[in-house]
Amino acid sequence: VAATSAPAPAAPKAPAAPSGSFEERVRTKSSPLVRKIAAEQGVEIGALTGSGIAGRVTRKDLDAYLTSRPAGSAAPAAAPVSVSHAPSDSHGPAATPWAGDIVEPMSKIRKLTSEHMSLARRVAAHVTTLWEVDLTRVARVRAAVRKDFEAQSGQKLTYLPFILQAVCQQLKRHPMINTAVSGENLIYRKQINLGIAVALEPTGLIVPVLKHADELSLTGLTRGVNDLAGRARSKKLSPTDVQDATFTISNPGTFGSLTGTPIIPVGTTAILCLGAIEKRPKVITGADGEDTIAIRTCAYFSLSFDHKVIDGADADRFMGDIKKALESVTEAVV
């Protein structure tokens, strides 16, 4: 009997492309390297199931598909499509330069920021709640311990570590805020990793991540923030330094901004914005019930949260507890 060879196993099929144009755009949001390899191998990225944030197709996803596909089964390359006049998904219709205008290509970090912000705005139902926080007690504690703290630690003591400490405490009490969305599942993060937005010179922004921030003392928080900010500005951050944030803090108050409505980074469900710290006249009710006007050190805090998974009441309880913690701080936190 003549031997017959077993039929070759059928090539694994990539999952069918999603019918919704939004989902397809999200899936094709992959890195330039992944898109280049996919094009060379004749793979339609929009037809693959991505394991990255919001279904993003990663290099690992593409390599796994190419490894499992038998040799010679590459799909023919698609005919090139002219996109010179097509509107950009991230930027909208292309603007036309006028006489005297300067046209400058976007930097790599600006292009990445543009793509990330556009995606982040689409995948989350943004809502912002605004609170005024009295930081007078923080100011007094800081003034009382500042000299000894800086002598012992060698670090400048600002208001930020006090705020980070209060945030970590309340993220533990309000785990709903320290979450991520995975399809139809909600992931409650055990780790508290704080993304700290850092402005770069002359322009640009990067968000290094302070890992396990809840395990750090006030001194540890100060050292960690100063180290990340310094390495960010000197361009010495590693890829792992900007990954795995579970909650983000933006501090435009350092530039004098009173408040803001920040965009929630993809992979998280909330971001806290810190406004400028300044002295304001406030009405204070004394123990005798009498009202007086006093000068207090205050700031506006705003929380942008994803209303798909966080209710307004949960967001406000979280903010209310941060306010209480900071308004009742003592030297014991140092």
Q: In this structure, is the dihedral angle defined by the CA atoms of residues 74, 75, 80 and 83, taken in order, positive or negative?
A: negative
Q: What is the pTM of this model?
A: 0.73
Q: What share of the chain is helix, strand, coil (3-state, %, to 5)?
A: 40, 20, 45
Q: What is the distance between the alpha carbons of residues 70 and 10, in angstroms, rounded to a whole number?
A: 8
Using 50, 70 and 90 to split pLDDT, how confident is the model at 2?
A: very low
Gap between the Cα atoms of 247 and 299, Å rounded:
20
User: Region 106-131: what's the mean pLDDT?
Assistant: 92
Average pLDDT over every residue of 165-182:
98
Answer whether residue 245 shows pLDDT above 70.
yes
Residue 83 has what pLDDT? 37
- DSSP class per residue in 275-310: ---EEEEEEEE-TTS-EEEEEEEEEEEEEEEETTTS
Whether residue 89 has pLDDT greater than 60: no
Average pLDDT on 257-265 reads 97
Of 197, 174, 168, 181, give the one whose Cα is nearest residue 267: 181
Does CATH place domain 124-333 in 3.30.559.10?
yes
pLDDT of 288:
94
Catalytic residue annotation: 307, 311
Under the banding of pLDDT at 50, 70 and 90, the label for residue 69 is low
Whole-number Å distance between alpha carbons of 305 and 181 = 13
pLDDT in tens, 263-305: 999 999 999 999 999 999 999 999 999 999 999 999 999 999 9
Q: Residue 84: pLDDT above 70? A: no
* Confidence category of residue 53, pLDDT binned at 50, 70, 90: low
User: What residue spans define the domains of the chain?
Assistant: 12-71, 124-333
Helical pair 59-68 and 32-41, crossing angle rounded to 10 deg: 20
Any idea which of 24-33, 150-159, 213-222 has the lowest mean pLDDT?
24-33
In this prediction, residues 97-124 reach a mean pLDDT of 92
pLDDT (tens digit per residue) in 195-218: 999 998 888 889 999 999 999 999
Q: Which residue type does 184 have?
A: E
Q: Bridge partners of 126?
A: 306
Per-chain mean pLDDT for the chain: 86
Task: Determine the CATH number of domain 12-71.
Answer: 4.10.320.10
Helix (H, G, I), strand (E, B) or coil at 44: coil
- Would you place residue 29 in the very low, low, confident or very high pLDDT band (cuts 50, 70, 90)? low
